[in-house]
Amino acid sequence: MQKIIYRLLIALFFISIAGCSKDEMIQKFAPTEDQALAKKYFSLLKNRQFEDITKAIDPSLQDPTLKDALSKMADLIPVEEPINIKLIGALQHHSADQDSINLTYEYAYSNQWLIMNITLKQQNNLTNIIGLKVVPQTISIEEKFKFSLAEKSALQYLILALAIIAPLLVLTALVICIRMKLRGRKWPWIVFILFGFGQLSVNWSSGDFAFSVLALQTLSASAFAAPYGPWIITVSLPLGAICFLAFRKNHAAEPLQSTASIQASENLSANGIAE
């Protein structure tokens, strides 16, 4: 059942970039030289070479507690070498006077994982660290954010069910509308049916909810997961589809009289006049 729902979500809502894996996608936003620099600083941190790291940290962040903060981060890093190092996030920011890049790595060890994040600022041909973080994890990032039906709240199950039903309702109304003869123009109904109103979203991993009244969404539902991120499932009110299915008979075009019926009516009228 879980596999069926997962495939249906992918088919209905998630449009992936053909021929491009999530790893390849992230690599496009992370220049090789920046990655090499990030790994170098993580290595210095592990080896407790704090002075070399301090020299690279932006002057605005220098304070007496810096060395203590670096020491606490270094204590979180296992002595053993990582089994695997994976880039799981890359974000670039460009402005008139400086550029910055935020890189996130997952370091896998024999019995734990570490999320290591670094932000590098590039200004006046100098590169400085403006952010550094180490977060221990008991499971891998893929395991943490994988789609699973286990241990979810009733409201999460409800939103998932609505996210499957809503687009099916929209598509049903859309097909009926296209095939049906209406008294007025058809395209306003098609547009009305296609869009859902408002948005109720749930982070499938954390269970956090978000609601927006002023929002439009095609097919009244969506499911999206950023590379190595949680699934966000969103549902909207398919008001157009509901209204059309409920009142479509009121807007149906009147059936045309057959040629035989018209002829018979004309004959009766002629006979009446003759008498």
Please, which pLDDT band fits residue 98 given cuts at 50, 70 and 90?
confident
How wide is the angle at C-alpha 133 spanned by C-alphas 116 and 29, nearest 5°?
55
If you classify domain 31-144 with CATH, what class do you get? alpha beta
Please, which pLDDT band fits residue 267 given cuts at 50, 70 and 90?
low
Give pLDDT, residue 217.
94
Query: How far out from the chain centre does Cα 181 lie?
Result: 38
Name 103's bridge partners: 90, 118
Tell me the backbone φ, ψ of residue 159, rounded to 5 degrees.
-65, -40
Give pLDDT, residue 89.
93
Give pLDDT, residue 15.
41
Exposed (0-12), middle (13-18) or buried (19+): which is 202, by Cβ within 10 Å? Answer: buried
Query: Can you read off the two tokens belonging to residue 179?
Result: 């095939």
Helix (H) or strand (E) holding 190: helix 187-194
Whole-number Cα distances in Å, 243 to 163, 176, 201, 239: 19, 13, 23, 6
The answer to whether 107 touches 73, Cβ cutoff 8 Å, is no
The radius of gyration computed from the CA coordinates of the chain, to the nearest angstrom, equals: 30
Residue 11 has pLDDT above 60, yes or no: no
pLDDT (tens digit per residue) in 23-55: 788 888 889 999 999 999 999 999 999 999 999
DSSP label of 97 = S
Start-end of CATH 3.10.450 domains in the chain: 31-144
Residue 189 has pLDDT above 60, yes or no: yes
The answer to whether 119 touches 131, Cβ cutoff 8 Å, is yes
Residue 272 has pLDDT above 60, yes or no: no
Give pLDDT, residue 5.
47
Q: For the chain, what is the mean pLDDT?
A: 86
